[in-house]
Amino acid sequence: MTGFLTLEMRRCTRDVRYLVIAVALPIGLYLLFAGLFGSHGQRAQGLPQPTELMVAMIAYGAMWAVFSATGPRIAQERAIGWTRQLRVTPLTPASAVSGKLVTALVVALPAMALVALTAATSHHVHLGAAQWAALLAAMWAGALPLALLGLAIGYLAGDDIAFPLTMALYFALGALGGLWVPLSVMPHLMQDIGQALPTNALAELGWRIAGGHGSVPAALLVLAAWTLGSGLIALLAYRRRGTRAAS
């Protein structure tokens, strides 16, 4: 199991799509937007511009990291028969699936931490040590529903549509979730939709912690609901595929 996990992680971090979209892109976007909007403007949440953007890009990087490690990858492995081959080894199906989940979350960490590092060094985002730790830990845990969503795609979608579908979700969840443009400047209906998305809830968690605020029951509720929903869909999809794995 340990060998399986480490090899899965090594594969993910070698993936060009992961390196470009999960690691390089959020850093690039951060530098671009923070440079454009300057260091002093205030946006939603009452946070300084660079801090607010940092949290949004951490959420963005985390989202693609967990997606790239699950959806398209699992769909491809099912299509080429590797999933079946793995099932005739002593690795149990439950270990194989939980291994994917753990891998997705682990490879999200460097993507998230590097945005934080970029923000701290390039735009002097200052947070206390405990605040940094709480921010990264909370947002890391908050990526769980997105990772489960990736698993669901992997077991539901065919190899041909898994990547475009994941990409579409990535853009939709990013834009509608307020990671590009704050929800507060959007029409009311869009705000309502945005607040129900896991991406907005994930960023909200980070914004509140960076702003020194307390708990955020609404965001936690949204994340919990997405965790349950995505987890259930992933489980059902896996079961359905499991019985057909050998056909």
Q: Using CB under 8 A, list all residues that contact other proteins.
A: 1-4, 7, 10-11, 14-15, 76-77, 80-82, 84-92, 95, 243, 245-247
The amino acid sitting at 41 is G
CA 56 to chain centre: 11
Taking the least distance from each CB to other proteins, the nearer of 84 and 126 is 84
Taking the least distance from each CB to other proteins, the nearer of 121 and 247 is 247
Could you tell me which of 142, 151, 167, 160 has the C-alpha nearest to residue 222? Answer: 142
Q: Where are the beta strands (DSSP E) in the chain?
A: none
Smallest distance, other proteins to C-beta of residue 72, A: 11
> Which residue's structure tokens are 């056909």?
247
Smallest distance, other proteins to C-beta of residue 52, A: 36
Smallest distance, other proteins to C-beta of residue 18, A: 11
Smallest distance, other proteins to C-beta of residue 83, A: 9
Give the Cα separation of 190 and 62 in Å (integer). 23
Taking the least distance from each CB to other proteins, the nearer of 88 and 189 is 88
The answer to whether residues 44 and 124 touch, using CB atoms and an 8 Å cutoff, is no
Taking the least distance from each CB to other proteins, the nearer of 80 and 185 is 80
Q: Angle of helix 198-210 relative to helix 129-142, nearest 10 degrees?
A: 170
